[in-house]
Structure 1
């Protein structure tokens, strides 16, 4: 069964209104990563840039209107036979103003294909942004879980040092009364040194995990609450794969890229068609110092077509067809990659679930063994080495359980990512979801800069730049 939004919200640990001393949940970490990721901001800007490609392509279907002006001053000083070789000076100043417009009436569909290509490219870029969002959230989830793992490992190591310190003290007391030998004391001292070394390593691992948390989430980790359980996930690879192939952003992006490649083949074919353009011009020239002036205009229809371009157009056709074949092949590559990722994630989740169950049983057994060994040691039936070994087995069992539990949750989120479900919207995170169509809807009609829509866009971009 596919995970629901409610179950995803539950696993993320969404709580009520935040409190001052409330522990940070996994949902809080994911929300912070979503809101403060520079990588997401970068690619949102790239998406907006791709949106502008639609406006630019649409402008090719509209007339191009331009104006021009010229101010000219002429002067001459000449001697000719007509003036009996007497110097004659002439000067004058004129100004002209013209307005022209040009509209492509027919180009074999190239302009319209350009609009379709730009639109499909926008849809592809949106899917790329979703794919990146999944990567950002998965990294944040893993960073959160690694801090939890490192913190619990550190607590284990600290407790281990305390226990072995107690065992060493007991061994020394028993050595004083002759119950054990110097060897038992030396064994306890060696184990204490090893425990302190493990403690230092655990402290280093926690420091590294904190640094990754800062990079992934955007702030230092405070007090983190347990990650909670996992949502209801598909029980089989086939069920998960069906969801992934239908909605994974990588698959949808590959499909859009294949569509763009098909359109580019059509565009290369259309480039062989003739182009028909309508041109109009009106102008006025005023001569200063005289009443002479000129006002006129023209309108014309022109057609042109490339007959021979050195083989360039044919090469562009072949190139477009090869790119189309590559895009279609990429669909198979992406499909196989998704199948593999889903299969690996399902397998890892099943392994970690089984490992967590086995580790839980191991911890319970190791606890009984340790308690019994320590009690038997007080009666002289066990040696110090037996107690130290039992304590080490208990430590290893607890560490294995912590790792298995963390890895199980991590595998669950990896499966969500492999299925295309690890997004802020589907996780129901308490954030303002970025609307990829918001900017597009403002520019899809290619508003001019002086229009009200154009001025509104300028204000939006200035506000984004300040955020």
Structure 2
């Protein structure tokens, strides 16, 4: 093969993925990990219960329904069947091809006395052809088809994993929207009480029209948050219904956002856990298939030897006994001049192999980036949520003090209005931060290829 074989170590948190040397262009290198099909590799089914770590039975039911009914998963299964049929067809090319014919003939014969007579005959024959495949062209093509089948199966696993993650994160978003709606309604009730007090104080002449107008404006500003949240909830329910393969419908709720559990993350997750990622295995098998296709295309430029034979019997009313016939022969086919077609096909196969190598390298780097982003997201959104929780608690205290001062006549309405606005902003930001933290957990599960178990972590560390 052209190019130079290099080994590029890819590491996360001090862990590296070892790899075998794979020929690649001089400008890039790829190091696919060996032995992916191990107990903890791509053949091991993706952990089907990682979403149960959130402790919400409705979230679990939603994810399982999506995995059962999602149309993208069903389409991926159909693509797997197509690849399986293509692999079976390539294996069939390695076997002898046997056929048979039974032609019927009619004719006239002349007797020694010159009397014509009609003869009816048949010649059933069996024919056999077999490509010796001296240079492995067909064997390489069969192996390439097998690798492509494995890549297609891994693509189906990728769709399943993405569907489960989308259902889980979509449910978290829905519960966050429910919380926003509850906050908007509670705030609207408080604004209504403030508006009633402002109206009474204005009508008795205790305050100016300005405070009354400010209370009206603030009530209307809060009022529009309710239909906006309800619209977002409807759209989110419709999106989840599509994900589960259903018509638009209401989605059952379980735990509120604040009570959804946050799974524990072990310290120092091994980088070998990334081997369970189906997109990495898909990229590797695509590279293997393109490499084998390149070798098969090169073998097509060499001479090819085929054996052919046929055997049969002649049955006729003009013959006293049947006559057996057979033929056997061999043919050598070698390209002498094809206008550069085979050479152009070989260059195209080389380019496809190089593209697959670059794609594998990018997929591996993307996997490490997604894990690092998800770990950082879990940590930083947790810190942000803790800070916003403290801010919301302080804003509630400030609103209580401002309301008491306003009712006692020690401060203007603008102080209470500012405190209400600060509390609303802090509560909405806290809901968003809690939702972001939970979706970061989902993203980490997806980035690690479907979660982990304590046994897997300890085994890989050993």
Same fold (TM over 0.5): yes
- Say which of 170, 173, 188 aligns to 2:197: 170
- Say which of 32, 57, 61 aligns to 2:90: 57
Shift, 1:46, TM fit: 0.9
> How does the TM-score come out when normalised to structure 1?
0.78
1:47-126 equivalences under 5 Å are 47-74=80-107, 91-126=118-153
- Say which of 404, 421, 427 aligns to 2:450: 421
Kept in 1, the 8 Å contact 2:66–2:167? The answer is: yes
- Provide the rounded CA distance (Å) in 1 between the counterparts of 2:48 and 2:399: 42
- Provide the rounded CA distance (Å) in 2 between the counterparts of 1:14 and 1:381: 48
Equivalent residue number for residue 220 of structure 2:
193
Shift, 1:172, TM fit: 1.8
Q: Tell me: CA distance 1:147–1:14, structure 2 relative to 1, closer, same or farther (3 Å).
A: closer
Q: Match of 1:101, SS?
A: strand
- Provide the rounded CA distance (Å) in 2 between the counterparts of 1:149 and 1:315: 57
Equivalent residue number for residue 54 of structure 2:
12
- Provide the rounded CA distance (Å) in 1 between the counterparts of 2:344 and 2:266: 49
Residues 349-373 of structure 1 deviation map (CA, whole Å, 9 limit, x = unaligned):
3331121111100111011111121
Q: Do residues 40 (structure 1) and 73 (structure 2) align?
A: yes
Q: Do residues 372 (structure 1) and 405 (structure 2) align?
A: no
- Say which of 258, 262, 267 aligns to 1:230: 262
Q: Tell me: CA distance 1:295–1:358, structure 2 relative to 1, closer, same or farther (3 Å).
A: same
Residues 130-156 of structure 1 deviation map (CA, whole Å, 9 limit, x = unaligned):
222222122212221221111111111
Kept in 2, the 8 Å contact 1:107–1:270? The answer is: no
Equivalent residue number for residue 207 of structure 1:
234
Equivalent residue number for residue 271 of structure 1:
300
- Provide the rounded CA distance (Å) in 1 between the counterparts of 2:308 and 2:164: 54
- Provide the rounded CA distance (Å) in 2 between the counterparts of 1:97 and 1:354: 84
Kept in 1, the 8 Å contact 2:123–2:314? The answer is: yes
Q: Match of 2:442, SS?
A: helix
| Residue segments in structure 1 that go unaligned for 5+ positions in a row | 16-23, 77-82, 428-467
- Say which of 129, 142, 151 aligns to 2:178: 151
The structure whose RCO (Cα within 8 Å, separation 6+) is larger is 1
Q: Do residues 388 (structure 1) and 446 (structure 2) align?
A: no
Q: Tell me: CA distance 1:415–1:314, structure 2 relative to 1, closer, same or farther (3 Å).
A: same
Q: Tell me: CA distance 1:127–1:6, structure 2 relative to 1, closer, same or farther (3 Å).
A: closer
Q: Do residues 142 (structure 1) and 184 (structure 2) align?
A: no
Equivalent residue number for residue 21 of structure 2:
none
Kept in 1, the 8 Å contact 2:103–2:122? The answer is: yes
Shift, 1:108, TM fit: 1.3
- Provide the rounded CA distance (Å) in 2 between the counterparts of 1:290 and 1:124: 60
Kept in 2, the 8 Å contact 1:8–1:231? The answer is: no
Residue range with higher mean Cα deviation, 411-420 or 218-227: 218-227
- Provide the rounded CA distance (Å) in 1 between the counterparts of 2:412 and 2:197: 12
- Provide the rounded CA distance (Å) in 2 between the counterparts of 1:9 and 1:145: 12
Shift, 1:289, TM fit: 7.2
Q: CA RMSD in A?
A: 3.1
Shift, 1:198, TM fit: 1.6
The size of the alignment, in residue pairs, is 404
